[in-house]
Amino acid sequence: MADNQKKASRVEKAAAGIEEDVIRLNDRLKSAPDIDHELRLLEALLFAAVEPIDIATLRERMPDDCDVGALLARLSRDYAGRGMNLVRVADRWRFQTAPDLEPHMIDIKETPRKLSKAALETLAIIAYHQPVTRPEIEDIRGVSVSSGTIDVLMELGWVRHRGRRRTPGRPTTLGTTEAFLAHFNMEELSDLPGKEDLKAAGLLDSRLPKDFEVPTPMISMDIDEDPIDDEDESEFVMDFMHDDEESDFEA
């Protein structure tokens, strides 16, 4: 119930914002004879993009005096009930098949490989506790983390090295990526389920300690964290992983 109310509130808020932008855009019709051309140009740019595109890039390619935000709102509303929808993912925009039509677009289904319990637990810890180091992940899980677990999450593009802690040894910190948000259909990290959502889904014990709180992920750099410089990125990062844990994929 809490999850549905949260989603409904977010949808209503987004709809209200879109309507305001559309009204503002319609007001410009009287003084902007090229509005149809701007909409067609924006539509073409979004269709031609091979990956989600951010507003800053769109503004660089659109006429200087056009309102890209209002144009996006107009296109989003125009495509809302069609086979293709214009959606925002991690502050980037893309066209995608309407969710209810996706099953009809698949000719061949490959048998998906399921992430192991170890990989899912590690991903959840990184998502909620980021920035987090490997020793911190092991401390939370209570067991060691194999090299394969984090390697798989990185190969999927869901996890990345964020920076280095200002502590002895300068351990690397881990965080999620925009691909993680896109895969799980979230606009931002604040869309991760909260304590009440997790309890409602049966993923948390109903009798929790009074001081129990779901951690808030750190999006920007932490005060005890330095960004990884070019030299760090060019080197192979070895974190002394163990290889004795269970396989990261199950058939």
Question: Domain range for residue 82?
Answer: 10-101
Q: What is the CATH number of the domain that holds 76?
A: 1.10.10.10
Domain assignment present for residue 108? The answer is no
Residue range 198-206: mean pLDDT, rounded: 72
Residue 18 pLDDT grade (very low, low, confident, very high; cuts 50, 70, 90): low
Residue 53 contacts residue 94 (beta carbons within 8 Å): yes
Query: Does one domain contain both 92 and 118?
Result: no
**So what's the pLDDT on residue 6?**
55
In a domain, 109, yes or no: no
What is the dihedral angle through the alpha carbons of 47, 112, 137, 2, rounded to the nearest 10 degrees?
70
Q: For the residues 160-180, what does the mean pLDDT come to?
A: 91
28-54 average pLDDT score? 80
Query: Are residues 167 and 92 located together in one domain of the fold?
Result: no
What's the rounded Cα separation, in Å, for the pair 41 and 44?
Answer: 5
Q: Distance (Å, rounded) from C-alpha 241 to C-alpha 211? A: 33
* Residue-level pLDDT at 177: 92
Residues 231, 126: one domain? yes
Specify the number of domains making up the chain: 2
Percent of the chain with pLDDT over 70: 72
Partners of residue 84 on adjacent β-strands: 97
Q: Give the sign of the dihedral formed by CA 68, CA 69, CA 71, CA 76.
A: positive
Same structural domain, 52 and 145: no
Q: What are phi and psi of 250, to 5 degrees?
A: -115, 145
The better pLDDT of the pair 16, 123 is held by 123
Residue 107 has pLDDT above 50, yes or no: yes
Q: Residue 77 is inside which H or E element, if any?
A: helix 68-78
pTM of the complete model? 0.55
Distance of alpha carbon 61 from alpha carbon 57, whole angstroms: 7
Say yes or no: 59 and 88 in one domain. Answer: yes
Q: Taking residues 28-46, report their average pLDDT.
A: 77
Region 156-175 average pLDDT: 91
